[in-house]
Chains A and B, each alone.
Chain A
Amino acid sequence: MKALLGLLLCVALPAVAELQGRVGLEERWFPDSPLDSRQRDHSRSVLIEPEWYQRLGGDDSLNLKVFYRHDDGDVERRHGDIREAYWLHVGSDYELTLGINRVFWGVTESQHLVDIINQTDLVEAPDGEEKLGQPMAHLALLRDWGVVDLFLLPGFRERTFPGVKGRLRSHPVTVGDAQYSSGAEKKHVDLAARWSHYVNDVSIGLSAFHGTSREPLFQLQDQGGAAVLQPLYPQITQSGLDLQYVQGDWLWKLEAIYRHLVSDVGAGTSAAHFSAATGGFERTQVGILGSDWDLGWILELSYDSRQSGMTAFQRDLFWGARFTANDIAGTEVLVGFGQDLQQDKVELFRMEASRRFGAATRLSLEISIFDGASPESPLYLLRRDSYAELGVEYFF
């Protein structure tokens, strides 16, 4: 970082530079009493995420995006991260990125199986949508027959977990002291590649990853007389497929992975190999009831060959609706329900709503209800952690 900043200060900077970002305030309420009396019923936090873009001539640019959150109760949510800090060079038929960046792969909404480059920032979002920055060398080759992305990923990022006082966590608490199956531990250099292409109505992506699993296994440990969960990161090879077919106002989506465990961590808890898939559709109806409103319907089914307890998506159905008001305030509401097909009951309800006030402020409301999950389900740990979150963000 210091070297990068030094470099920037020395270079005579051309005119095109942009500074932007957001600051936010969030309040979360948990109406149910916690499983662990040390956990809090309410949390308040502030966040800041400035972003800086600098163009260096026509084909090169620097991007920097840092993030910090201060949470009043959970020390594990008092954290910062370099989301992005990279140099990008755009050639005539290639793009080269060096530094820290975030890359998204996939098409489905309810979960992101294929997306594997970045680690999940779990303390930021319990649904796993937030990602940590990943150091990388990324070469994208742009060809008539598709785009080939090649990744060299030095430096592993551990998943973030809520601390003792935080909600939406495991019981017992997960500690940061991780164990690796590779002797190189966090310094293992991972490799990844993806070919993606689209022809007419069909988009396809085929991907491969070899390295440290982003998804940890857990083993029970004794830490000073208290039971804790320790994350274990095995070495894996994962192949992925993502497919999308556009048919009128229907978007048909499929993601599938096959993961092979290269070396176990000795816990004996992991499957040697497994497959998983998510597929479904999104259909958008425009101008419902003669208004300007759009309503998008989402339905996705998930399958995972692992035994229940290791995944939240063994045989699951997710359905939901996205409402877009198309008004000046940009009002949006997403409502979703999750259900284990082996249980006859909806276990998860989620709502995200937001609208803009003025030109630069957005108010958001998020509600998650975890209900009636069976003891085998990973959601069982969250059965007392239903919450409502009110957030306000100012963009500068």
Chain B
Amino acid sequence: MQFYRNLIGLLVAMIVALSAVADDADSATDPAVKGLEIAEEMKARDRGWGDSTAHLEMQLFDKDTLLATREMRLKNLEVLDDGDKSLTIFDTPRDVQGTAFLSFTHVLEPDEQWLYLPALKRVKQISSKNKTSPFMGSEFSYEDLNSFEVPRYDYRWLRDEMFDGQDCFVVEARSKDPYTGYSREVVWVDKAEYRPLKVEYYDRRQQHLKTLIYSDYQRYLDRHWRASLQTMTNHLNGNRTEVRLTGYRFQTGLSDTDFSQNSLKRAR
């Protein structure tokens, strides 16, 4: 009897061990697979928004002192088999009023970017390698404003954690772009809706450079979540940029012709 008991004990131990091995290869515990699945689910849940327009107000703070305000309008077009297209039209500061920025994000190839300078009536193509430069003197870089495309990063699920009262996945994303300004980004994604709530950016020297908080989420067309407030804090200089997005409209009928070099010249 003792022998059988031992045998059963051994078998149970083996089954437990085997199932643990099987689990390791499964998404439930392989951090890379689980991280990628979370990223894919984030993208999948937001599919089908088509196009959108919004008003953007950017406030630049030094500690708590408001230094400057910028206003612009955004037009975005979802591209299903590649990165999205975006058109940004500047309203203030007034010396750059009418300046417009057209960007085609690509999943694997380099992005394409054009700038329209109204005083010269000239469209200039600009190098898409300027990812790390600050956008309009803010704490956001051009890289931070790109549309989120799953294949651009390698992922690793780190842990589950509560953030702001919501149960979250914490996922590390490393950009595959050699021109990135970051060694890694750590993203808090809420389990209920797969929305990013917080991003920590680490520079190439592994210093914690910036933190972005997404808040005041609103739901559009019953399923597309957009944060009305994004706050980027720079931990090295103490500066902060707040971005407020208002007047979101979806599926307004924009098409490729609204995101061309010709449309850039007459963007209003």
Name the B residues within 8 Å of A16 (CB-CB).
Answer: 268
The reply on B206 being an interface residue by CB < 8 A is: no
Q: Are A103 and B121 in contact (CB under 8 A)?
A: yes
**Who on chain B is nearest to A287 by CB?**
B132
What per-residue 1/0 map shows which CB atoms of A325-346 lie under 8 Å from chain B?
0111110000000000000000
Q: Are A393 and B95 in contact (CB under 8 A)?
A: yes
A286→B95 contact, CB < 8 A: no
Q: With A and B bound together, what is the CA distance between A250 and B127 in angstroms?
A: 7
Let me know if B262 and A395 touch, CB within 8 A.
no
Chain A residues with Cβ below 8 Å from B94 are 20, 359-360, 395-396
Q: Do B129 and A284 touch across chains, with their CB atoms under 8 A apart?
A: yes
Cβ contact within 8 Å between A330 and B137: yes
Q: How far is the CB of B203 from chain A (nearest CB, A)?
A: 10
The listed residue (A61, A328, A362) touching B68 by CB distance below 8 A is A328
User: Within residues 217 to 272 of chain A, which ones have a CB less than 8 A from any CB in chain B?
Assistant: 244, 246, 248-251
Cβ-defined contact, B130 with A284, below 8 A: yes
**A142-B260, A286-B129, A294-B133 known; A330-B121 Cβ under 8 A:** no
Q: Does A140 sit within 8 A of B, measured CB to CB? A: yes
In this assembly, does B134 line the interface, its C-beta being within 8 Å of a C-beta of chain A? yes
| Any B CB within 8 A of the CB of A95 | yes
CB < 8 Å neighbour of B96 from A18, A330, A396: A330
Q: Please indicate which of the listed interface residues B68, B120, B126, B137 has the most CB atoms of chain A within 10 Å of its own CB.
A: B137
Residues of B within 8 A of A328 (CB): 60, 67-68, 137
Fill in one digit per residue for B132-143: 1 if any A CB lies within 8 Å of its CB, else 0: 111011000000
- Residues B95 and A395 in contact, CB atoms below 8 Å apart: yes
- What residues on A are CB-neighbors of B92 within 8 Å? 359-360
List of B residues within 8 angstroms of A286 by Cβ: 129-133
Q: Which residues of chain B from 110 to 136 have a CB within 8 Å of any chain A CB?
A: 110, 112, 120-122, 125-134, 136
Nearest-Cβ distance from residue B93 to partner chain A, whole angstroms:
5
- Encode contact with B along A85-97: 1 for CB under 8 Å, 0 otherwise: 0001010110100
Which residue in A61, A292, A396 is a CB contact (below 8 Å) of B134? A292
Taken together as a complex, chains A and B put the C-alpha atoms of A104 and B119 apart, in Å, by 11
Residues 1-57 of A at the B interface (beta carbon under 8 Å): 16, 18, 20, 22, 53, 55
CA distance A297 to B148 in the complex (A): 31
Distance in angstroms between the alpha carbons of A393 and B119 in the assembled complex: 13
Cβ-defined contact, B93 with A359, below 8 A? yes
B181 — which chain A residues lie within 8 A by C-beta? 287
A102 sits at the interface (CB 8 A):
yes
Docked complex: B62-95 residues within 8 A CB-CB of A: 67-69, 92-95
- Determine which of A102, A244, A330, A395 lies in contact with B125 in the assembled complex, contact meaning CB atoms within 8 Å: A244
Task: Decide: A330 and B127 in contact? CB cutoff 8 A.
Answer: no
A129 CB within 8 Å of chain B: yes
Interface 1/0s, chain B 190-218, versus A by CB < 8 A?
A: 00000000000000000000000000000
B152 CB-CB contact with A under 8 Å? no
In the complex, what residues of A have CB within 8 A of residue B125's CB?
203, 244, 246, 251
Shortest C-beta distance, A21 to chain B (Å), equals 10
Residue from the set A198, A326, A362 with the largest chain B CB neighbour count within 10 Å:
A326
Is B266 an interface residue, CB under 8 A from the partner? yes
Is B257 among interface residues, defined by CB-CB distance under 8 A? yes
Given A326-B137, A359-B68, A359-B94, the answer on whether A129 and B120 have CB atoms closer than 8 Å is: yes
Which of A90, A147, A361 is the one whose CB lies under 8 Å from B266? A90
Chain A residue nearest to B130 in the complex (CB):
A286
Does A194 have its Cβ within 8 Å of any Cβ on chain B? Answer: no
Verify if B97 is at the interface (C-beta below 8 Å from A): yes
- The smallest C-beta distance from B1 to any residue of chain A, in angstroms, reads 74
Q: Is A356 an interface residue (CB 8 A)?
A: yes
In the bound assembly, the distance between CA atoms of A14 and B181 in angstroms comes to 46
Query: If the complex has contacts A329-B137, A362-B95, A395-B97, are A104 and B121 also in contact, measured as CB distance less than 8 A?
Result: yes
Neighbouring B residues of A22 by C-beta, 8 Å: 95
B216 to chain A, nearest CB (A): 25
Q: Which chain A residues border B129 with CB–CB below 8 Å?
A: 248-249, 284, 286
What residues of chain B lie closer than 8 Å to A61, measured between beta carbons? 266, 268
Q: Taking A284-B129, A287-B132, A292-B134 as contacts, is the C-beta distance between A356 and B93 under 8 angstroms? A: yes
Q: Which chain A residues border B93 with CB–CB below 8 Å?
A: 330, 356, 359-360, 395
Chain A residue at minimum C-beta to C-beta distance from B128: A246
In the complex, A293→B163 CA distance in Å? 35
Residue of A nearest to B257 (CB): A142
B122 cross-chain contacts in A, Cβ below 8 A: 104
Closest Cβ neighbor of A93 among chain B residues: B257
Complex formed: what's the CA distance from A395 to B93 in Å?
A: 9
Query: B110 to chain A: which residues have CB within 8 Å?
Result: 248
Question: Shortest 8 CB-CB distances between A and B: which pairs?
Answer: A395-B94, A328-B137, A249-B129, A360-B94, A326-B134, A249-B127, A104-B122, A362-B95
Query: In the complex, given contacts A53-B268, A328-B60, A328-B68, what are 8 additional A-B residue pairs having Cβ atoms less than 8 angstroms apart?
Result: A61-B266, A203-B125, A244-B125, A324-B133, A330-B95, A330-B96, A359-B93, A395-B97
Would you give 5 A-B contacts (Cβ < 8 Å), ordered by A?
A104-B120, A249-B127, A286-B129, A359-B94, A396-B94
